[in-house]
Structure 1
Amino acid sequence: MPSPATDTPHPPWWQAFWPAPQAVDARERLRGAGGAGIGILITAIVGHLAMRLGMPAWIVAPMGASAVLVFAVPASPLAQPWSVVGGNTLSALIGIICATWGGSTEWAAAVAVAGAIGVMFALRCLHPPGGASALLMVVAGVTDPRYAIFPVLLNSVLLASVGVVYNNLTGRRYPHAQLPAKPSESKDDLDAVLARYNQVLDISRDDLQALLEQTRSEGYRRRLAELQCSDVMSRDPITVEYGTSLQEAWALLREKRIKALPVVDTRRRIIGIVTLADFMRTADLDLHEGFGQKLKQLIRSTGRTHSDKPEVVGQIMARTVRVASEHRKLVDLVPLFGSSGHHHIPVIGEGERLVGILTQSDVVAALAEPPVR
Structure 2
Amino acid sequence: MSSLDPQSKPASARFRLFTPILAGATLRERLLACLGALISIAVTGMIGGYFFGDGIDLPLIVAPMGASAVLLFAVPASPLAQPWSIIGGNTISALMGVFAAHVVHDPVIAIGVGVSLAIAAMSFTRSLHPPGGAAALTAVLGGPAVAHWGLLFPLIPVALNSCVLVALGIAFHKLSWRSYPHVAAPVAANLHGTTDLPSDRRVGFNEQDIDAALVNLDESFDIDRGDLGRLLRQVEFESLVRSNGKILCRDIMSQDVISIEESGTTEDARALLLKHNIRTLPVRSDDGRLIGTLGLRELAHASVSFKDHISPAATASAGDKALSLLPVLTDGHTHAVIIIDAELKILGLISQTDLLSAVARALPAGQSDNRAA
With the length of structure 2 as denominator, give the TM-score of the two structures.
0.57
Q: 2:19: which partner in 1?
A: 21
With the length of structure 1 as denominator, give the TM-score of the two structures.
0.57
Amino acid at match of 1:202: D
The answer to whether the aligner puts 1:163 opposite 2:165 as a matched pair is no
Instruction: Say if 1:55 and 1:150, in contact at 8 Å, map to a contact too.
Output: no
Q: How does 1:140-159 map to 2 (within 5 A)?
A: 140-141=142-143, 142-143=146-147, 144-159=150-165
C-alpha distance 157-361 of structure 1, shift in aligned 2 (>3 A): closer
The answer to whether the aligner puts 1:193 opposite 2:213 as a matched pair is yes
Q: 1:129: which partner in 2?
A: 131
Q: In structure 2, how many angstroms separate the alpha carbons of the residues matched to 1:76 and 1:148?
A: 24
Deviation at 1:181, TM superposition (A): 3.8
Deviation at 1:362, TM superposition (A): 2.1
Question: What CA deviation, in whole Å up to 9, does each residue of 1:223-266 have, x standing for no partner?
Answer: 011579xxxxxxxxxxxxxxxxxxxxxxxxxxxxxxxxxxxxxx
Q: In structure 2, how many angstroms separate the alpha carbons of the residues matched to 1:210 and 1:151?
A: 39
Q: 2:118: which partner in 1?
A: 116
Amino acid at match of 1:129: P
Q: 1:222: which partner in 2?
A: 242
- Sequence identity of aligned pairs in percent? 38
Amino acid at match of 1:110: G
Instruction: Say if 1:57 and 1:150, in contact at 8 Å, map to a contact too.
Output: no
The answer to whether the aligner puts 1:64 opposite 2:66 as a matched pair is yes
Across the two proteins, how many residue pairs are aligned to each other? 241
SS in 2 for 1:216: helix
Instruction: Say if 1:224 and 1:330, in contact at 8 Å, map to a contact too.
Output: no
Unaligned runs of 5+ in 1: 1-14, 229-285, 287-328, 346-357
Q: 2:97: which partner in 1?
A: 95
Q: In structure 2, how many angstroms separate the alpha carbons of the residues matched to 1:342 and 1:102?
A: 69
Instruction: Say if 2:323 and 2:359, in contact at 8 Å, map to a contact too.
Output: no
Q: 1:44: which partner in 2?
A: 45
Q: In structure 1, how many angstroms separate the alpha carbons of the residues matched to 2:366 and 2:64?
A: 50
Q: 2:226: which partner in 1?
A: 206
C-alpha distance 359-160 of structure 1, shift in aligned 2 (>3 A): closer
Question: What CA deviation, in whole Å up to 9, does each residue of 1:67-112 have, x standing for no partner?
Answer: 0000110000000000000000000010011111242111000010
Q: In structure 2, how many angstroms separate the alpha carbons of the residues matched to 1:20 and 1:212?
A: 26
Q: In structure 1, how many angstroms separate the alpha carbons of the residues matched to 2:83 and 2:89?
A: 9
Question: What CA deviation, in whole Å up to 9, does each residue of 1:1-43 have, x standing for no partner?
Answer: xxxxxxxxxxxxxx9xx97931422211110110011110111
Q: In structure 2, how many angstroms separate the alpha carbons of the residues matched to 1:361 and 1:33?
A: 45
Higher RCO, Cα 8 Å, sep 6+: 1
Q: In structure 1, how many angstroms separate the alpha carbons of the residues matched to 2:357 and 2:320?
A: 11
Amino acid at match of 1:94: M
Q: How does 1:2-17 map to 2 (within 5 A)?
A: none
